[in-house]
């Protein structure tokens, strides 16, 4: 009996140790709000000005230069401090419409991704930021780290899945959210809101599928090669296709065809019956060389 109790005690202590090691890690934000931050509404101007300096043509980011500039680091901290203070949940009056809310969640997500890279610089991938016990690649970065959105600490995974995907149900967000990796959508220096946000979402979607790294037809192999994003979030793309009159849709190709430029749509039309192959995801940091 004593042996059984001793074994159970060891198991309980081991489980407690695992939970302690993998406990959520809150990321602190220090500093002051951006200069001239509005008393009403929410301004992304401070973050946009930084992106215009450190995002290179093609969407890579000069993390090294950003990290080397104390003023730029402080400016980023000031913006994420605003994200940490105000959200559509604790300050709804600052976000008058759906567009303002979506912009907050997407841009706040992207800002915290960049902050985490800079805080842990130098790294070669976000997957370098690991949990003590990491059964799934990226768990440390996307799940263990917790960031304040209006005073509520959330993981990036929760922001993406529980807030952005669930509330807004717009698959185009997957072409704007940036996880600081080479297979991610490119980083964009413009942070529009209002009617201009709709234009950004449309542009980002078309540009993403027009990149042969994300959508390509191999007629010789009779394959359509797709970004793994279309596998991970297949449900979002299929649901959108069905909602817009494509009953029985089973994969993301119907969605892609619906927004594809004429040349790509024509090529996809010639690929009927081809096998879909999802490319490996490149987690290398999207850093400017």
Residue-wise pLDDT tens digits, 195-210: 999 999 999 999 999 9
Give percent above pLDDT 90 in the chain: 84
Query: What mean pLDDT comes out for the span 253-267?
Result: 95
Domain boundary among 207, 235, 258: 207
Average pLDDT, the chain: 92
Claim to verify: residue 242 and residue 174 sit in the same structural domain: no
Is pTM beyond 0.75? Reply is yes
Task: For the sheet with 145-149, list strands across it.
Answer: 25-26, 145-149, 152-154
Query: Is position 4 within any domain?
Result: no
User: Does residue 106 sit in the same domain as residue 244?
Assistant: no
Residue after which a domain boundary falls, among 207, 237, 268? 207
Domain end marker among 173, 207, 241: 207
The pLDDT score that the predictor gives to residue 246 is 73
Domain count, the chain: 2
β partners of residue 147: 154
Domain hosting 166: range is 24-207
Question: Do 263 and 193 share a structural domain?
Answer: no
Q: Indicate if 224 and 195 belong to the same structural domain.
A: no
Pairing between strand 223-226 and 25-26? unpaired
Q: What is the pLDDT of residues 8-56, one digit of tens each?
A: 444 433 333 333 445 899 999 989 999 999 999 999 999 999 999 999 9
Q: Tell which residue, 63, 106, 64, 59, has the closest CA to residue 213.
A: 59
Residue 102 lies in a domain: yes
Do 31 and 154 fall within a single domain?
A: yes
């Amino acid at each position: 009996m004593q042996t059984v109790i001793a074994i159970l005690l060891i198991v309980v202590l081991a489980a407690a140790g695992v939970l302690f090691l993998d406990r959520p890690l809150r990321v602190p934000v220090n500093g002051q709000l951006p200069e001239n931050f509005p008393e009403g509404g929410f301004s992304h101007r401070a973050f946009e000005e930084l992106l215009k300096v450190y995002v290179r043509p093609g969407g890579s980011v000069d993390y090294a230069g950003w990290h080397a500039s104390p003023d730029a680091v402080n400016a980023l901290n000031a913006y994420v401090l605003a994200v940490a203070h105000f959200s559509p949940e604790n300050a709804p009056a600052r976000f008058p419409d759906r567009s303002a809310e979506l912009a907050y969640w997407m841009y706040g997500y992207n800002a915290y991704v960049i902050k985490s890279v800079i805080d842990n610089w130098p790294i070669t991938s976000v997957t370098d930021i690991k949990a003590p016990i990491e059964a799934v690649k990226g768990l440390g970065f996307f799940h263990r780290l917790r960031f304040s959105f209006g005073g509520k600490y959330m993981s990036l995974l929760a922001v993406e899945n529980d807030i952005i995907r669930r509330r807004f149900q717009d698959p185009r967000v997957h072409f704007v959210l940036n996880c600081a990796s080479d297979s991610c959508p490119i980083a964009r220096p413009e942070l529009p809101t209002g009617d201009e946000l709709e234009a950004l979402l449309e542009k980002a979607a078309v540009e993403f599928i027009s990149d042969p790294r994300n959508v390509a037809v191999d007629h010789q192999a009779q394959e359509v090669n797709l970004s793994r994003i279309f596998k991970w979030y297949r449900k979002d793309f299929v649901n959108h296709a069905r909602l817009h009159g494509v009953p029985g849709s089973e994969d993301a190709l119907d969605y892609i065809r619906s927004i594809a430029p004429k040349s790509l749509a024509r090529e996809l039309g010639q690929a009927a019956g081809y096998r879909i192959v999802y490319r490996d995801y490149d987690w290398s940091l999207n850093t400017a060389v």
